[in-house]
C-alpha cells in the first residue's frame, strides 16, 4: 500500500547533480532535499513565516537503498514531520525515482533536524503554540 505524506515534491535532477559514476552526488542530494523542503515550508503560508525564516539545519542523515540517476528525474520526495520538541523539529523524507511505484521501497530515506532561532538575538527560541500545532498536523506518514 502506498504511503501518504504531509507534502510531496517533484524535484528535477540536473546533469550537474551527477558524480563521475552517473549517480546523484551526495552533496547534491542534500541540495535536492533542500529544494523540496523549501517548497513545503513556503506552501505553509504567511502565518508561518517566523518558522520558515528561522529554521536552521542542525543534523542531516541520508541512507541510500538504491541508485538514482539523471534519468530518474523528477525525483518524487515525500516528507512529513517525524518529531518535534520545544526548539527543534525533524523532517522525514522518502525519495523515489519518477518511474518507481508509490508503494515501492524508496531509493533513499533521510531526515533533517531543524532548530528554530531568534535571528535578532542569535540564539535558539521556543516553538510557538501555533507552530507546534502546524508541526503536529504535518506529522507521520501513513
Query: Nearest CA to 92 among 139, 26, 38, 126?
Result: 139
50-89 tens-digit pLDDT: 777 788 999 999 999 999 999 999 999 999 999 999 999 9
The verdict on pTM exceeding 0.75 is yes
Instruction: Name residue, grid cell 523540496.
Output: 36
Lookup: cell for 127 = 516553538
Among left, alpha and beta (phi > 0; psi -120 to 50; other), residue 117 is: beta
User: What per-residue confidence (pLDDT) applies to 137?
Assistant: 86
User: What per-residue confidence (pLDDT) applies to 69?
Assistant: 92
Residue 63 sits at φ, ψ, to 5 deg, of -125, 120
Nearest 10 degrees: CA dihedral of 92, 98, 101, 103?
0
Q: Which CATH class is domain 7-137?
A: alpha beta
Whether 111 and 90 have beta carbons less than 8 Å apart is answered as yes
Question: Strands 75-84, 7-11: parallel, antiparallel or unpaired by DSSP?
Answer: antiparallel
92-139 tens-digit pLDDT: 999 999 999 989 999 999 999 999 999 889 899 999 998 898 888 888
Whether 89 and 34 have beta carbons less than 8 Å apart is answered as no
1-51 tens-digit pLDDT: 557 799 999 999 999 999 898 899 999 999 999 999 989 888 877 777 777
In the chain, what's the furthest Cα-to-Cα distance?
A: 47
Amino acid at each position: 500500500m502506498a504511503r501518504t505524506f504531509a507534502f510531496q515534491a517533484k524535484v528535477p535532477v540536473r546533469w550537474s547533480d551527477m558524480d563521475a559514476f552517473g549517480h546523484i552526488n551526495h552533496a547534491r542530494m542534500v541540495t535536492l532535499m533542500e529544494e523540496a523542503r523549501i517548497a513545503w515550508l513556503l506552501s505553509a503560508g504567511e502565518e508561518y513565516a517566523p518558522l520558515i525564516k528561522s529554521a536552521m539545519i542542525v543534523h542531516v542523515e541520508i541512507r541510500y537503498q538504491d541508485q538514482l540517476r539523471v534519468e530518474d528525474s523528477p525525483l518524487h520526495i515525500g516528507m512529513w514531520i517525524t518529531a518535534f520538541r520545544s526548539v527543534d523539529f525533524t523532517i522525514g523524507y522518502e525519495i523515489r525515482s519518477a518511474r518507481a511505484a508509490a508503494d515501492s521501497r524508496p531509493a533513499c530515506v533521510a531526515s533533517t533536524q531543524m532548530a528554530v532561532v531568534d535571528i535578532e538575538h542569535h540564539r535558539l527560541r521556543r516553538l510557538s503554540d501555533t507552530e507546534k500545532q502546524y508541526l503536529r498536523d504535518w506529522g507521520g506518514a501513513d
